[in-house]
Each structure stands twice: as C-alpha cells, then as structure tokens.
Structure 1
Amino acid sequence: MKWGRFMAFLLMAVIILGVTVGTAGRLWKSIPLGLDLQGGFNILYQVQTPHNRALTASEKQALVKAVELRVDTIGVSSPEIDLEGHNQIRVQLAGTFNQQTAANVIGETAQLKIYSGGKVVTQKDKATGKKVQVMVPSGKLLATGADLKSNAQAQQDPTTGQNEVAISFKDPKLWQNITTKYLNKQIYVFLNGTLLTDPTIDSKMYNGNSVISGGTLTTVQACQDLAKELNAGALPYPLKKQSESSVGPTLGQASLRATLWAGMIAVILIFIFMMLVYRMAGLIADLALIGYGYLTLVIFDGLHVVLTLPGLAALILGVGMAVDANIIAYERIKDEMRNGRSLKSAVKIGNKNALRTILDSNATTFIAGAVMYFLGGQGDIRGFAVALMISIIVSLLTAVLLSRLMFFSFVNSNILRRPWWFGIGKGVLKKDEA
C-alpha cells in the first residue's frame, strides 16, 4: 500500500509533466493573440445617431453584428469589437492586412438604393469647384441594400463577358412586383448617392435573382468590392472615424517576448521560493502550478479567448494567486504539526481550516474581476477581467483539488517522515494517530 500510494503520486506528476511538455507548445500557438502582442490596427468610430442620442439595446446588437459581418469579409481572425460610451465602437484587428481597405470596408456603408426615376441637376464638383451635371434620385424608392441577401458575388456575363454583381432579394415577391410594375421602363440604381446604372427592365423576374452591371462596375475588382460591401449588411447608423492607430508586428512581438521573459523569471523565482521554504510540499505545489498553466491555456483555447498584454499579465498574476492558496494551506498544516499532531492528521485538519480562507480571498477577487468586466468599458480592461476570472477558477481547481490530491497521496505513502521535508525544524514526526 505504501509504494502503491507513492506510485500514484509519481503517476500524477509524470502525467502533468508529460502532457504539458508534449502539447503546451502547440496549444500556445493555437491561441489567437491581440494586436498589442501580434501587431494590427485599432479604430475608434463615432456612431452618428439622430441628435447624438444613446443607442438602444437592439441597436447595439444590430451595430455589432453589422460590423462583425464587415470584418468577416476582410478575412481577419479573432477581431475585438467593443462598444464604448453611449455611441462609440472600437474595432481591433490583429495581424497583417491592408489597413486602409479594412477601415473603408468597416466604416463606409454601401448605400444601394433603387428608384423609379432619376433627374439631371447641376451641382458644384467638390474637387474642382466647377459646375457639373449629375443624375440624382427622383420618384419612388423601390428597394435598398437591406432588402438583399448576403450572397452577392462578382461574376461575368457568359455571353458578353461583361463584369457584373449577382444579387438575390430576401423577398422574391418584392423584386417580382418591381419588375412587373416597371416592365419596359427604366429604374435607377444609386450607390452612395451616385448613379451606378439605369437599366430597362425587359422581363418579369420571379425568383428574386438579378444582376447589377454598368457604371463603375467595369473591372473584376470593382465588382468584388461591391459584392463584399453588400454582403456586409447595412449599418443601423453611419460611422465616423474618430481615431486610428496601428501596432507593427515587430513591436507586438517585442512586447510578447518581454512579457514572456518577465513571466518566466517570475515563475522560476516562485518555484525556487516554494521548494526552499516548503521543500517537498513546495515541489508538489510547483507541479500543481504547471497544471494550472496548462489547464488555463486549454480553457483559453476552448473559449477562443484573444490573449492580450493585460490578459497575459492576469495569467501570470494567477500563478501568484494559486501559490497563495497553497501557502495558506501549508501554513495551517505546519501550525497543526507544531501543536503535536501527526502528519496525516495535520494535513487533514490544516487543509480543512484553510479552505474557507482560500475561498473567501478568491471570491472577493473574482467579484472585482466581474465588476471590471461589466463596467470596465474598454476592451483591454475587459480582457484583463476575463483572464483574471478564468485564472481564479483554474487556480482553485489546481490548488484546492489537484495539489491536495497529490499531497495526500504522497503523505499517505510514508516515504518521508522528517519534519524538515515539510518546512518544519528537525526531528521525527509523531506517529499517525489511529
């Protein structure tokens, strides 16, 4: 039984070290990094609501969803989209991409509108100041980009080779009614207030499918850009860019390396401290800390958490919190042993007395993290709060459950009986009480 318990302890230690060494590197690479660690683009937009009023809950959801759809068309993974204040939205995109294109796709709304009529008016050209004749909408508004499905795609007419954009209406009946009413008549398609094309409807269309061509849609790229904007959906309100900043990939990697080095040094010092002060108990705590780090990475990967610099700091802070839980338990155990209890009895009673203190201290920190998450506002603060709350939960699992299980297994094996191995003076431990 003695060696069986010791082998159970060794097996747990080997599993922790083996799994961590074997898969931690691959797991780390699968966790997406924020722009402060990877480099990227940070844009703050002002939502231009009527009379600058605050967004309602439904408007916030619609706005975030529309921006998410727009970001998806860029092909950037793991974006961070956060509402700030009552009418601002911040978009953080990590990685390497065309930042100007990204800003245009996110902030510029493809206002596609179809009218029953158009008229020529004389206006002053903003660029040259000269008077020019332009076509403006008139008549009835028949449909908008909001009436379209998100499946627009660039293509070429198989007969003429002309570039065009294929579109589909959400309600086929709407397009059928338009093509029926305006059969053999012109309709006017405007994009962002500029006439795109004014085709004549030559047949009724019943399935809601059609194409847009002509105007500025002369190249494949122009058709692809329009298709992406149409698929991105209509924003509830226009966005005005307030500020933008970029972090180069070199700077981001430098921040990551510096933080990892600092974290590694801190962890090594903690490991050494625990083994010097608590000896074998400290070694068990160090093994539990390795389990803490690995399990935290697993949860980050499973929840698709974007790891930022504040989040990485919270992860390292969690190491200290996990150690703190072990220290509280070990000091309670040492107190019981000094009072003359056997090792097994001291471990049992010391852990029981320490549990309430550990739970209370972690609960208060978790509450602080929850408040930061819900009231913090900015993405960095919320990222720190998420990482902190995950770290607290995992540290409780490893410090209270894993560390305790390993400690009980080792103590019950009776391999080591000198008090020195558990951070207490000299001599021989009292025999176990029945």
Structure 2
Amino acid sequence: MLNRYPLWKNIMVILVIAIGVLYSLPNLYGEDPAVQISGTRGQQADTAVLADIQNLLNENNLDSKSLSLNNGSILVRFHNTDSQLLAKDKIAEKLGNAYSIALNLAPATPQWLSSIGGNPMKWGLDLRGGVRFLMEVDMNTALGKRQEQLEDSLRTELRKEKYRYSAIRAGNSFSTEIILLKPEELSTVERFLRKKHPTLDVKSISENTLSLQFSEAALIEARDHAIEQNLSILRRRVEELGVAEPVIQRQGAERIVVELPGVQDTARAKEILGATATLEFRLVNQNANLEAALKGLVPSDSEVKYDRSGRPVVLYKRAVLGGEHITNASSGVDQNTSSPQVSVNLDSEGGEIMSQTTKLNLKKPMATLYVEYKDSGKKDDNGKSILEKHEEVINVATIQGRFGSQFQITGIDSPAEAQNLSVLLRSGALTAPIQIVEERTVGPSLGAQNVEQGLTAGIWGLVITIVFMLVYYKLFGFFANIALMANMVLLVGLMSLLPGATLTMPGIAGIVLSVGMSVDANVLIFERIREEIRNGRTIQQAIHEGYSGAFSSIFDANLTTILTSIVLYAVGTGPVKGFAITLSLGVAISMFTAITGTRMLANWVYGGKRVKKLSI
C-alpha cells in the first residue's frame, strides 16, 4: 500500500529523535562557578585536604553547592561568583604553594545524565573563554644540545679515521674546538671535516687547533627544527589534557602561542605544557673510585649524579638511550613490590639499541636519569628567565637479561608522579626547554555577547522560516517545521556527543545557515508533489512520486555541501573547522529529518486513505 511506513521504521525515527532530545538536555542546565584544587608536581589531594577545605568554608560562612574528590583533584561548586572568588583566596591562603587553585566553570549536568555520557557542548575560546599561553623556546639550550651531538660525532669520526687529538671542547658562540696531537695533520683533518660537515664553517685558529662554527643556514635550520619539534610535542600534550579545538601555532622566530578554550584546570595545563622532563638511560661506571670522584677526580668520560636520597653515582656521560625513542608510556603498579612503576615502549631503533646494550652489559648496573629544566628565579640581561638543569637518578638496576623495546621503570615515589611522568614521556620530550612568558585568561563576557547575538539571529531566522513554510505550504509546511525543530535538537545532541566537536562563533553561523538549508529539501519535495498533482496524478501517487523523485536531487545537492565541509575541516584551523562541523552535521541531519521525518508525518495523516485534496 502506498505511503505507509512499516512499524519498525516509525519506531526508528521516534527513537532517533528521542535520543537526540536526551543528549541535548545537558545544555539546558548551565554551569556552576567552581574552584578546582590540584596537587602540583605529582602531589594528590586526599580526604584530609577535602575535610580541611570543608572546615575552611564553614568558618568563613561560604555556602558551597557541593564538594567532590576525583582522581586526586577537588572540585568545589558555588551558587554565585562572589562566593567562588572569596573561596579561592581563602583556599590559596590555607594550602599555600603545594596545591594549584584554579577558577573554573563546571557543568551542572545531573548525575543520571552524566552516567550515560550526557554532557553539554564544548565551547570555543571565543565563546566560553579559556587560557592563552605565549611560550618562548630556549634556543641557547637547543643549540647547546646540537653542539654536544656534534662533539660526540666528531669523536667517533676522528677515531674511525685514526686522527689523534688531545681534546674536543666547546668554544665561544656554540663553536667547537679540536686540539690535534700532530700539527702536521691539521690541513688533512680540515679537508676531511669540511667534506663531512658541509654546513659547518671549519677554520684553523692555531698550528694544532681547528674551530668548527655553525653556519648561518645551519643556525636557522636548528632553530626551525626546535620550533617544529616543540609544536608537534605540544599538540600531543594538549591531546593528553583532552582539550578540543586548541590553537597551537608559531609566532615570530622563537615563540609559540597556545590557546586552550574552556580548560578546566589551568595549573595542570601549565604544568604539562611547560614541563621539559625526559629520561636518559646510562651505564654506571663501576671502575671509577667514588671517593676520588667526589673530590673532583672523575674520569673524562664520566660524571657524578645524585639520587633522591643524595647518594652519589658515577655515570658515563654518553647516554645509552634518550627520551626521543620512547613511543608510549603508562603508569601502573609493580605486582611484586606494590610500588608505582612506569611501563615504557621504545621505537624499533631504540629497541635495537637497548637490546644490544643489555646483551653486552649483562650483570652490570644501568641507571635511569630524570632530566628537567626549571625556572631558577633569575633573569638575564634581556629580562628572560634563566632555566636551570635538574638531574636526578630515579633508580639503578642490574641488567639481569637481554630486553628490547618494552621494560619497566621503578623507584618512583607515588602513583601520581608515575602518572605525570608517563604523560610527559608519552607525549614526547621537548627538543628545547620552553618557558611561559605570558599567561592570559580570556573571560567569557565577549563570548556571552556573541552567543546572545548568535541566538537572536538563529531565532529570527527560525521564526521567519517557520512562518513562511506555514503560510506557503500549509499542513505540509507544518510537517517541515516539525522536522526543522527535530533537526536542531539532533544537531545539538550530536554536537554534545562527539568528543572532538566544539561550538565556535563561526559554528553558530553554520547552525544559522543550516536552518535555511534544512527546509530546502522539503521545498523540493513539496514542489514536486504539486507538479505531480497538476499532471493528473492521484494524491497518493503524487506524495509517493514527490518523495521518490526529489531524492536524487536532494542527495546530490547535500552531498556536495558535505564534501566542501570535509575539505574545509581537513585544511582549515580552529574557527574554520567549527563552521565546517556544524554545517556538515546540519546538512546531513536535514536529509534524515526532511526526507524520512516529514514522510512519516505525511504517512500518518494521508497514508492508505482516500484523499481528494492535499493541504500543500
């Protein structure tokens, strides 16, 4: 029978719309002003801290909406921003520097909705506010690392060619000096190095000394490499924070801008983004005299490092392996000792190096050295903060057998520290240290105005469209309007469900545009029905031909729009992606609501009946 849907198809349409309504609901509950308390450098808040905060709020007559402890972080919700601001100051005064205190807006979604994955849409920085970091890459350290790598390469190359030297040392302005034992080999070694290192300026500065200086092109290439590597690593670290639609881009020669919309924990973001922690695996020099080493008599290929208890360990300077070979890291617990540990996975090159090293050094100790750059609190002549290198031996373990790309690191103080270290290792070690030179919190006031104006534009567009469809297409216009409302609900619900979807100001423009485009399909269908009636078709045949005949035109038109949106999303950044997401989702959903949804309503009213006239 024409124009009758089977029961399962009616149930499917109703179920899809019901799910859309359910997951749109979180956007109606708004947000609560909140204060978030997180431990710094791996420290975790516990029930004792929670009790202290509760007592502090009671003493100051600050009425909180709720207090919760989750994953070592405390979230205190308030009824208004006045209580929130006062509580932040009191809590910061009470807890001191051991904890980071951040102002946040926490979703007020009921627990029953959150338990099934119902969360409000993520808003971009231009709507919700957030934090903006301006970071500066420490190029001196980057060039210093490049110089150390060059010195290691020179030692290997000269030994291989049997050119004897007394020292390879660092000179001024990141130059490297080679002091040869045989002055008569000076010109030969100079020609060899120029051929081996064409990007270096090689010249003799005495009868037995060569100086190697980075050329201008090599310096520019080293700076660009450091910036690009750090950009890539910062993007991975932002992914660890779970921030959607961040903006991470280069600014000038040595700076990087990071914008995090709606970030929930600014202190945590600052800690993870600015951290420069990495690991080095080094063999212990068992032949060195520890007492002599402490007096300064250290072999030229070794140096003294200390563990957390202050005990000295003599390590070879040359690292067996660095953090650049780490592909994955996860925190866990050692089954034998119940102590925190980090499981590390290496890439193929790193696995091969570790395999060969452990094979050649069985029953010998190997140390895990934790390296981090911290702000010294001092400034240089240009007013920049001076970073100090902090090194600490996490553990020293005897190599019991040959292992490759997978192993565990123990000797870590707490589970929180293990988790923090795993995040930093997983996201990569920064090629050069960075420091945050400017931190700007973007308030949501401008965003609120944008949202208000966007909603006003959307409502007016919706009202005009609804009135036009009712006047021009009568009952079928009413069907189209119901489909239009369902389209908006499904769009909001889908935007709330998708983890990477973020609503931006251009995204609001995409929604407003999709309002008009969502009824475009119905206009094609309704005009086709009118045309079929004029050609003498019966009512039932006209409805059937109207929906069937217009489908190919609707599909082609909407497909081209969706493909364009996909291209915009692929090549665009932040705001452009926001527009592409809302437009493509709105158009795709409109194909379902305009074709399947309105036909279901038409079938309910007219399907299987003898009808002499349509209200269209």
TM-score range, shorter chain: 0.5 to 0.7
After TM superposition, the structure 1 = structure 2 runs for residues 210-289 of structure 1, keeping only pairs within 5 Å, are 229-230=424-425, 232-235=427-430, 246-289=441-484
Deviates more, 1:296-305 or 1:383-392: 296-305
Alignment partners' CA distance in 2, 1:227 and 1:16: 40
Alignment partners' CA distance in 2, 1:99 and 1:178: 46
Who is 1:112 aligned against? 279
RMSD: 5.2
Deviation of 1:262 (Å): 3.3
After TM superposition, the structure 1 = structure 2 runs for residues 367-406 of structure 1, keeping only pairs within 5 Å, are 367-376=563-572, 378-406=573-601
Q: Which amino acid aligns with 1:233?
A: G
- Conservation of the 8 A alpha-carbon contact between 1:44 and 1:241: yes
Secondary structure, aligned partner of 1:347: helix
- Conservation of the 8 A alpha-carbon contact between 1:179 and 1:203: no
- Conservation of the 8 A alpha-carbon contact between 1:114 and 1:143: yes
Who is 2:245 aligned against? 80
- Conservation of the 8 A alpha-carbon contact between 2:344 and 2:408: yes
TM-score, with structure 2 as normaliser = 0.49
Secondary structure, aligned partner of 2:502: coil
Ranked by relative contact order (alpha carbons within 8 Å, sequence separation 6 or more), the top structure is: 1
TM-score, with structure 1 as normaliser = 0.65
Alignment partners' CA distance in 2, 1:186 and 1:400: 67
Q: Which amino acid aligns with 1:150?
A: A
Deviates more, 1:327-336 or 1:93-102: 93-102
1:359 to 523, 533, 555: 555
Q: Which amino acid aligns with 2:517?
A: M
Alignment partners' CA distance in 2, 1:350 and 1:204: 77
Alignment partners' CA distance in 2, 1:38 and 1:145: 36
Deviation of 1:100 (Å): 5.7
1:142 to 320, 342, 358: 320
Secondary structure, aligned partner of 1:361: helix
Secondary structure, aligned partner of 1:196: strand
Who is 1:32 aligned against? 122
Who is 2:515 aligned against? 319
Deviation of 1:322 (Å): 1.3
Deviates more, 1:267-276 or 1:241-250: 241-250
After TM superposition, the structure 1 = structure 2 runs for residues 168-179 of structure 1, keeping only pairs within 5 Å, are 170=345
- Closer/same/farther in 2, CA of residues 44 and 357 from structure 1, 3 Å limit: farther
Q: Which amino acid aligns with 1:102?
A: A
Per-residue CA distance 1:225-275 (angstroms, 9 max, x = gap)? 666534543246777879876432454445334433432342233222211
- Closer/same/farther in 2, CA of residues 230 and 367 from structure 1, 3 Å limit: closer
Who is 2:97 aligned against? none
Deviation of 1:381 (Å): 0.8
- Conservation of the 8 A alpha-carbon contact between 1:311 and 1:387: yes
Deviation of 1:65 (Å): 7.8
- Structure 1 residue runs of 5 or longer lacking an equivalent are 121-136, 159-163, 423-434
- Closer/same/farther in 2, CA of residues 53 and 328 from structure 1, 3 Å limit: farther
- Conservation of the 8 A alpha-carbon contact between 2:244 and 2:500: no
- Closer/same/farther in 2, CA of residues 397 and 240 from structure 1, 3 Å limit: farther
Secondary structure, aligned partner of 1:191: strand
Alignment partners' CA distance in 2, 1:284 and 1:8: 20
Deviates more, 1:385-394 or 1:350-359: 350-359
Alignment partners' CA distance in 2, 1:390 and 1:366: 8
Per-residue CA distance 1:104-161 (angstroms, 9 max, x = gap)? 52244324335572279xxxxxxxxxxxxxxxx9732233234666246899xx9xxx
Alignment partners' CA distance in 2, 1:340 and 1:307: 50
Alignment partners' CA distance in 2, 1:268 and 1:67: 45
- Closer/same/farther in 2, CA of residues 222 and 406 from structure 1, 3 Å limit: closer
Deviates more, 1:198-207 or 1:397-406: 198-207
Alignment partners' CA distance in 1, 2:223 and 2:526: 53
After TM superposition, the structure 1 = structure 2 runs for residues 282-297 of structure 1, keeping only pairs within 5 Å, are 282-297=477-492
Alignment partners' CA distance in 2, 1:262 and 1:142: 62
- Conservation of the 8 A alpha-carbon contact between 2:13 and 2:597: no
Deviation of 1:399 (Å): 1.4
Instruction: Report whether the alignment pairs 1:334 with 2:533.
Output: no
Deviation of 1:284 (Å): 0.7
- Structure 2 residue runs of 5 or longer lacking an equivalent are 27-116, 143-217, 283-300, 306-314, 346-350, 374-387
Alignment partners' CA distance in 1, 2:368 and 2:23: 61
Alignment partners' CA distance in 1, 2:452 and 2:557: 31
Secondary structure, aligned partner of 1:80: coil
Who is 2:238 aligned against? 71
Who is 1:102 aligned against? 269
- Conservation of the 8 A alpha-carbon contact between 2:21 and 2:489: no
Who is 1:426 aligned against? none
Who is 1:161 aligned against? none
Bigger helix share: 1
- Closer/same/farther in 2, CA of residues 72 and 412 from structure 1, 3 Å limit: closer
Secondary structure, aligned partner of 1:141: coil
Deviation of 1:318 (Å): 1.6
Q: Which amino acid aligns with 1:95?
A: G
- Closer/same/farther in 2, CA of residues 336 and 223 from structure 1, 3 Å limit: closer
- Conservation of the 8 A alpha-carbon contact between 1:326 and 1:399: yes
- Conservation of the 8 A alpha-carbon contact between 1:64 and 1:81: no
- Conservation of the 8 A alpha-carbon contact between 1:154 and 1:223: no
- Closer/same/farther in 2, CA of residues 205 and 145 from structure 1, 3 Å limit: farther
Bigger strand share: 2
Alignment partners' CA distance in 1, 2:19 and 2:367: 69
